[in-house]
Structure 1
Amino acid sequence: MNSSAKTIRQSGRIVVHVFVTLFAFVMIYPVLWMLSSSLKDTTEIFTHAHQLIPLKWNFDNYVNGFKGFAGISFSVFFKNSFIITILSVIGTVISSTMVAYGFARIRFKWAPFWFGCMMLTMMLPGEVLMIPQYIFFHKIGWINTFLPLIVPAFFGGAFFIFLTTQFLRGIPKELDESAYIDGCDKYQIFIRIMVPLLVPAIITVSIFKFYWTWDDFFSPLLYLNSPKLATVSLAIKNFSDPTMKTDWGAMFAMSILSLVPIVVVFFVFQKYIVEGISTTGLKG
């Protein structure tokens, strides 16, 4: 009886592993297809689209793609994306942690009301804010600059504030009281005690903000007019020109390169992603 039960469990595990493997292949197939297409000639991409292994390996797609367009190298677009993304991450981390500390640790009048107002902003569709924001940035002369893509991050984000607040509420308040007894004020408690304890939440916020900013296409399309200021996502779209012959191989090659920072960040910090999400979800 024990041997038969053990055999059933092993068979069940095999079935589960086979199913998970097949499901993972289905999920990753578009990336594999794009990687394969980045190594094919343009004609082969469409005539042998079902084949993942190229008939002829064409690494020139990466060379031609990195040359960019309009005399602008693709390294310029990567630089623009990194500038916008890194500064946005820094602004989001600073503002969100400070606001979350205020909601979680400082008592002030109507705190639940203001916290509720902050949460309600998460329900506003981006389309509702798009036109007023564009008019505002146009009035102050920020169009065709990085400022509309960076400065708003320094005023916090509702989702990140909520996530950090939940994490802070799980930290015992006895730490604050002990610090008060030792002579620390609210600012010293935040810098010396809370910030080191907030590292998992800060890394989680940084990763999500990095992903969302790096992949953002619509905002750069809306605010950036000069080709020299284009981000990676915007530059990849510009490879496709319906009025001329599109170099699909080069476009897919640059699409693969655009995934490299995201993949690197994920594999380096995946432990912190799970830890940050689990702790912010279970505590509070």
Structure 2
Amino acid sequence: MNVIIGRWAAIRHHLFLTVFSFIMLYPVIWWIGASVKSNAELTLPSLWPRNPQWSNYSKGWFSLSGVSFTKIFANTFWMEIWIVLGAVITSTLVAYGFARINFRFKRLWFAVLISTMMLPGQVLIIPQYILYNKFHFVNTYVPLILPFWFGGGAFFIFLLIQFIRGIPRELDEAAKIDGCSTYGIYYHIILPLIRPAVVTVAVFTFLWSWQDFYSQLLYLSSPVKYTIELALNMFLEQGWQVEWGQLLAMSLISIIPSIIIFFSAQKYFVEGIVTSGLKG
């Protein structure tokens, strides 16, 4: 009797999860079906069209005037590589300095760093734009990349500091006895032990900068330099009739890199969120 009750409970559990998963995935399923629909079929309630327009993908890839999505993806990935590298390198260095090195006014500067997390980003838009414009950086990738090479962000620094503080200082002292320098300890001891946090920083940076439509719209004006977000917006600016199927097809392709990166780094990403250093 207990076996039957246990099996029935398991069936109800799996049935609930299946139904709930379908509810959560319904927008994605609709998105996939809509990407192969014509404009006329988009108004119909069916999830899948009667005559799938697979050409939406090929037409959408080359639909933008003067530039294809091959160039768009190349621009975006080139920018993302430098952004992620800058965030990882500088945030780990700054966090290592705050967590392990004693210097004058350390607490004051740490308080200043944390206070920047409460500063609205909108406050910085105008002064940053004026500064970049004076240096002739507008319509280049520099304004989008450069901020990540100066610490990577207070949130990432704070996250990494918590990880580094969880690493026993005895490891640093043992490395010093063996003749390891300050930067040697950072590279050979600290970095390998905070790998989950580093991966978390890289994933978050990639996802946030990949979807940063506003900054890209503010600083990039040439279509040949456009990123994914700006290219998708161009579908809405080409004329009175928007090809929604092509737009949805390209937007579906645009999320594939994010999905691949997230699931590839899921092990370290989850560990970086849950843990906060070494476990004694």
Q: Which amino acid aligns with 1:220?
A: Q
Please say which of residues 107-116 and 136-145 is displaced more in the overlay.
Answer: 107-116
2:34 match: 37
Asked if residue 234 in structure 1 is aligned to residue 230 in structure 2, the reply is yes
Compared CA separation, residues 26 and 281, structure 1 to 2 (3 A): farther
Deviations 1:129-148 (A, max 9, x none): 11111111111111100000
Return the match for 2:269 from 270, 273, 283: 273
> 1:181-220, aligned counterparts within 5 Å?
181-220=177-216
For residue 264 of structure 1, report the CA deviation from its aligned partner: 0.8
For residue 281 of structure 1, report the CA deviation from its aligned partner: 7.9
2:144 match: 149
Return the match for 1:24 from 21, 38, 46: 21
Structure 1 distance, partners of 2:214, 2:24, is 25
Where 2:50 maps in the other structure, the secondary structure is coil
Structure 2 distance, partners of 1:30, 1:126, is 31
Please say which of residues 14-23 and 246-255 is displaced more in the overlay.
Answer: 14-23
2:125 match: 130
C-alpha contact (below 8 Å) 2:165/2:277 kept by paired residues:
no
> 1:46-85, aligned counterparts within 5 Å?
46=43, 48=44, 50-85=45-80
What's the % identity of the aligned pairs?
A: 48
Please say which of residues 225-234 and 191-200 is displaced more in the overlay.
Answer: 191-200
For residue 245 of structure 1, report the CA deviation from its aligned partner: 1.1
C-alpha contact (below 8 Å) 2:166/2:277 kept by paired residues:
no
Q: Which amino acid aligns with 1:147?
A: V
TM-score, normalised with respect to structure 1: 0.92
Structure 1 distance, partners of 2:32, 2:21, is 16
Structure 2 distance, partners of 1:104, 1:124, is 23
Structure 1 distance, partners of 2:122, 2:139, is 20
C-alpha contact (below 8 Å) 2:87/2:148 kept by paired residues:
yes
2:156 match: 160
For residue 23 of structure 1, report the CA deviation from its aligned partner: 2.9
Structure 2 distance, partners of 1:178, 1:282, is 17
Structure 2 distance, partners of 1:61, 1:158, is 42
1:255 match: 251
Please say which of residues 68-77 and 55-64 is displaced more in the overlay.
Answer: 68-77
Please say which of residues 249-258 and 63-72 is displaced more in the overlay.
Answer: 63-72
For residue 11 of structure 1, report the CA deviation from its aligned partner: 4.3
Structure 2 distance, partners of 1:252, 1:76, is 19
Structure 2 distance, partners of 1:111, 1:270, is 34
Structure 2 distance, partners of 1:258, 1:280, is 32
Where 1:132 maps in the other structure, the secondary structure is helix
- Structure 1 unaligned segments of length 5 or more: list them: none
C-alpha contact (below 8 Å) 2:84/2:205 kept by paired residues:
yes
Q: Which amino acid aligns with 1:178?
A: A
2:217 match: 221
Structure 2 distance, partners of 1:208, 1:217, is 16
Please say which of residues 12-21 and 156-165 is displaced more in the overlay.
Answer: 12-21
What is the aligned length? 279
Where 2:40 maps in the other structure, the secondary structure is helix
C-alpha contact (below 8 Å) 2:95/2:160 kept by paired residues:
yes
Structure 1 distance, partners of 2:97, 2:17, is 44
Compared CA separation, residues 68 and 86, structure 1 to 2 (3 A): farther
Q: Which amino acid aligns with 1:26?
A: I
Structure 1 distance, partners of 2:255, 2:18, is 22
Q: Which amino acid aligns with 2:19?
A: L
Structure 2 distance, partners of 1:121, 1:248, is 40
TM-score, normalised with respect to structure 2: 0.94
Compared CA separation, residues 182 and 61, structure 1 to 2 (3 A): same
> 1:83-98, aligned counterparts within 5 Å?
83-98=78-93
